[in-house]
Structure 1
Amino acid sequence: MTRFRHVCSNWRMLSLLQIFTSVQRHHSVHRRGLFIALHSSSHRSIGSNFMQMAQSPHHETKALLYRAPPEVRGMVSLDRDAFTQTIVIPSLRVPKGVLNKVVKSLKRTIVQRPGIPRVVQDKEDGIEEDDMRLVLLDPLRVSSLSSFNEAETEALRSFAVPQELQDYNLQLKYCNLKTEEVLEAVLPEGQEITSAFSRVGHIAHMNLRDHHMPFKNLIGQVIIDKNPGVSCVVNKTNMIDNTYRNFKMELLAGEENMVAKVKENGSSYEFDFSRVYWNPRLSTEHMRVVQEVKRGDTVLDVFAGVGPFAIPAARAGATVLANDLNPESHRWLQHNVKINKVAAAVRTFNLDGRAFVRGPVRQELPALLRAKAGVHIVMNLPALAVEFLDSFRGLLAGEPSCDAALPTVYCYGFSKDEDPERDMMLRASQSLGVSLDGRCSVHFVRNVAPNKDMMCVRFPLPKEVLFSSEGEQTGPEAEPAPKRQKCGETAD
């Protein structure tokens, strides 16, 4: 019992010691925060921010240090000068001869902020001193000489740096603020900000919400200012057109030039972004599928767009039949085929997807199935592609069913289901008229919106679908094709 009391007593002593240490640390942080002061004749009210720093965690304090002046709140026309403010930060007077060595030794404590110099000219009573420089320090790390660690202190001593901190009036400007910091300062408090965009060449494509609209032109200009190479910012104004897969857009800032030039996976593309579909977030998916294509294979691209599947497949040594209903997409597809020098390997079509399958694909497929090379059918129209799968029913009705390798289909779709893999499998099965359970794989491509995923279902086209007589069509789309060789015959 006595031993138990002794242990409890020691535990209480340890607890009290920990509490005391914590209080001491809190007071130390408090004193460090009080070092920072704001001097500004035009934005005096911002000084309260630095009083709050003493009571804020480090990440909050950092945000407060670089917070824009409150006067910019509600600004709808960008005034860059209104963001200018001055704060006092610590610095060290360093002899010019040892400047590089000191900067290297103090890399932990030197100011680290884009656009803010680490070293400035030293001025004594307004007169520049040629042999001395001021090294600017991070006020969140340095409040006194004791803030330096042992190695830093020893370095300063060995380089004969005067052991005294100097106040330096640092002018923070619009150019020193990040995109998020500018927009957070301008938009009404509590409203969600957005700085996200898709980059398409020189074009930044945004999806602004209703509460952003009063500030849309300012947002566009900030995006241009903060992102080198962006000279045009647009906002989508409606959903993608299901027919041509393009969307209407409005110019927010910059030049009204919608012809973009981009590189993806080593291929070059040019197109009018306002009249065709292009999504830079699909670069990885394009490469994933193309990597399954071997030299000598054939790719049948039903919804080819401007060629992000077709062109790299052709460059990999495949023969490609590429189709798109949108006349603009077809025009740029032909252009991109030429600039990538794959015209000999790519045939282009400007047809409805179903007409492409029932026409050129049906004509070419029998000979392709007799060959040993693989056949890949790409259907990248996520909003509708699954509905086009029924066009393969009875596509080769009347042809002998042979044991040749069947085409591999890559069909894309959107799913809001809790089980998107099963949802895609079931929908594809329904359109084909046969179950794909256990006969397909479903790949997650990307999250499009909350509870909405883009998926790719991959499967060998079932023989009972391709050669079924039940799905054989009559009418203009099913006109008799030229006489074809039977599967039993060999090709040269």
Structure 2
Amino acid sequence: MSEIKENCEEAELFSPNPNVRGMVDLDRDAFTKTIQVPVLRVRKEILNKVMKSLKHKVLRRPHLKRIIDDPKDDNNKDIILDPILVTSEESFDDRDRELFKQLDLSPQVSQVDLQITYENFKTDEILEAVLPKGQDVTSSFSRVGHIAHMNLRDHQLPYKNLIGHVILDKNPGLTSVVNKTNIIDSTYRNFQMEVLAGEENMMTKVKENGVTYEFDFSKVYWNSRLATEHDRITGFLKKGDVVFDVFAGVGPFAIPAAKRSCIVYANDLNPESYKWLVHNCKLNKVGNRVQAFNTDGREFIRTVVKEELSKCIKSSSPEKTSLHIVMNLPALALEFLDAFRCLLPEQPQMEIALPTVHCYGFSKDDNPEKEVKERAEEMLGATLESCAIHLVRKVAPNKEMMCISFQLPAVVLFGSDRNNDDEPSSKRPRTEEDSGVDSKTQV
């Protein structure tokens, strides 16, 4: 209970002036306020020892000096203490008193006026003071090099520029703050962005899992929250494995795979993603192990994947080489699984290494694992006897990003010719003509 009380007192004490409520154009001077704080006067020669002992009671605020001059005596300094933790000399514990005795210090706590400015407030404190009471405050963002990428909600949009400037002020190294709009490019599924604060330069450099990526953030899709997932899939790979990346983006799966000495075939429909994929392969010195393609994902499967799979299956040793197909386009990737039906001619008699597919999808179902598996089986036209389903991340309160990994069944890969014209339209995957969308960029 005392901890809750302390938190409430701190929130009240260090809240900006109430007149900033509803501010839409950032006025930094309006946040200035004066509060009373306790100080402990100490001699200069013992200052460091006292500071070390009282570090748990010193006032800690962003960019705030914790030691000030004593206006009455140049030989002394005043240590600013936390007004929630220290109200008088009685606030010191036995350990503190023992130190004071050793240093021949008679502790005297006095109150002084302290001016708190915009620089001394935290991001959340500023935004909570500005936005209407009771509304969600967002200060989180994805960092993409020098760019902060935010997803503001509708009620925050009137304050978007103020929020952008606060984020820029409070996070050294950022030079741009952008917000994802609701407008989606119909061809490549890129979210359009607006600059809220800072530069409009969207050329950026990102380091992830030891790999450097460069790209124009306004023209490709990049999600820093997928770094762990990129690393997880890479962990399945070993030297000599063959990897097909159907929706490769700028290379967050393809390049780490190549750095593990895998043979990689990487594709993306977006010309900008393809350009930066090629660039990043050279940048990371793996260009000789990655063949890049700029085509539709379904076409990539039916041509490049078909041809290379056929070669690999005939020539590889199942014990030594694994084949992996990565399909990271969660909005649509499951609908591309039908492209593997009857992809190869008659099944060879020898033991073969069937490829492992890692396919991503979004689910809003109460049982996302079951729903994703059923969708995958529907598109494959076969039952998956064994598969692994992994929760990648929660995208929204009722929306999960899932990854289903399975060995492509031989009955699918070497099945009899299909006749899509005989399938009900609801069972057929959407095509560019049907839905206006095609294989898109997703990283």
Fold-level similarity (TM above 0.5): yes
| Equivalent position of 2:394 in the other structure | 447
Partner SS for 1:112: coil
Does 1:464 find its partner at 2:411? yes
Does 1:376 find its partner at 2:321? no
Partner SS for 1:114: coil
Shift of residue 143, structure 1, vs aligned partner: 1.1
Tell me if the contact between 2:341 and 2:418 (Cα under 8 Å) persists in the aligned partners.
yes
Distance 2:141 2:349 in 1: 50
| Equivalent position of 1:390 in the other structure | 338
| Equivalent position of 1:234 in the other structure | 178
| Equivalent position of 1:171 in the other structure | 115
| Equivalent position of 1:186 in the other structure | 130
| Equivalent position of 2:310 in the other structure | 366
| Equivalent position of 2:41 in the other structure | 93
| Equivalent position of 2:31 in the other structure | 83
Partner SS for 1:248: strand
| Equivalent position of 1:483 in the other structure | none
Shift of residue 419, structure 1, vs aligned partner: 0.9
Within the candidate set 66, 74, 78, 1:130 is matched to 74
| Equivalent position of 1:478 in the other structure | none
Q: 1:314 to 1:228 in 2, by over 3 A?
A: same
| CA deviation string 1:392-451 (max 9, x = no partner) | 011102453542110000000011111111111111000000011x32111110001111
Within the candidate set 220, 232, 236, 1:276 is matched to 220
| Equivalent position of 2:147 in the other structure | 203
Q: 1:401 to 1:386 in 2, by over 3 A?
A: farther
Aligned length: 417
Correspondences of 1:258-297 after superposition (within 5 Å): 258-297=202-241
| Equivalent position of 1:42 in the other structure | none
Partner SS for 1:208: coil
Correspondences of 1:111-130 after superposition (within 5 Å): 111-124=59-72, 129-130=73-74
Within the candidate set 398, 423, 429, 2:377 is matched to 429
| CA deviation string 1:8-36 (max 9, x = no partner) | xxxxxxxxxxxxxxxxxx9xx9xxxxxxx
| Equivalent position of 1:104 in the other structure | 52
Distance 2:210 2:187 in 1: 29
Distance 1:263 1:473 in 2: 44
Tell me if the contact between 1:245 and 1:276 (Cα under 8 Å) persists in the aligned partners.
no
Distance 1:399 1:390 in 2: 18
| CA deviation string 1:297-354 (max 9, x = no partner) | 0100000000000000000110100000001100110110110010100000001001
Distance 1:473 1:192 in 2: 48
Distance 1:414 1:444 in 2: 10
Tell me if the contact between 1:179 and 1:226 (Cα under 8 Å) persists in the aligned partners.
yes
| Equivalent position of 2:436 in the other structure | none
| Equivalent position of 1:150 in the other structure | 94
Shift of residue 108, structure 1, vs aligned partner: 2.3
Does 1:418 find its partner at 2:366? yes
Tell me if the contact between 1:261 and 1:271 (Cα under 8 Å) persists in the aligned partners.
yes
Shift of residue 240, structure 1, vs aligned partner: 4.7
Within the candidate set 339, 348, 351, 1:403 is matched to 351
| Equivalent position of 1:139 in the other structure | 83
Shift of residue 245, structure 1, vs aligned partner: 3.2
| Equivalent position of 1:482 in the other structure | none
The more displaced of 321-330 and 113-122 is: 113-122
| Equivalent position of 1:58 in the other structure | 6
Within the candidate set 222, 226, 235, 2:166 is matched to 222
Tell me if the contact between 2:245 and 2:327 (Cα under 8 Å) persists in the aligned partners.
yes
| CA deviation string 1:91-134 (max 9, x = no partner) | 1110001111111122222212222222111111xxxx331100
| Equivalent position of 1:247 in the other structure | 191
Tell me if the contact between 1:395 and 1:472 (Cα under 8 Å) persists in the aligned partners.
no
| Equivalent position of 2:19 in the other structure | 71
Distance 2:188 2:85 in 1: 56
Partner SS for 1:295: coil
The more displaced of 262-271 and 391-400 is: 391-400
Q: 1:447 to 1:184 in 2, by over 3 A?
A: same
Which structure has more RCO (C-alpha within 8 Å, separation ≥ 6)?
2
Could you tell me which amino acid in structure 2 is paired with residue 461 of structure 1? L
Q: 1:242 to 1:435 in 2, by over 3 A?
A: farther
Distance 1:401 1:145 in 2: 88
Partner SS for 1:238: strand
Q: CA RMSD in A?
A: 1.8
Distance 1:409 1:235 in 2: 34
Q: 1:450 to 1:241 in 2, by over 3 A?
A: farther
Distance 1:61 1:71 in 2: 19
| CA deviation string 1:23-59 (max 9, x = no partner) | xxx9xx9xxxxxxxxxxxxxxxxxxxxxxx9xx8111
Partner SS for 2:394: strand
Distance 2:402 2:251 in 1: 20
Q: What 5-or-longer segments of structure 1 have no aligned partner? A: 1-25, 30-52, 475-492
Tell me if the contact between 2:70 and 2:76 (Cα under 8 Å) persists in the aligned partners.
yes
Could you tell me which amino acid in structure 2 is paired with residue 342 of structure 1? V
Distance 2:376 2:262 in 1: 26
Shift of residue 151, structure 1, vs aligned partner: 1.4
| CA deviation string 1:216-236 (max 9, x = no partner) | 111000000011111111111
Distance 2:183 2:228 in 1: 24
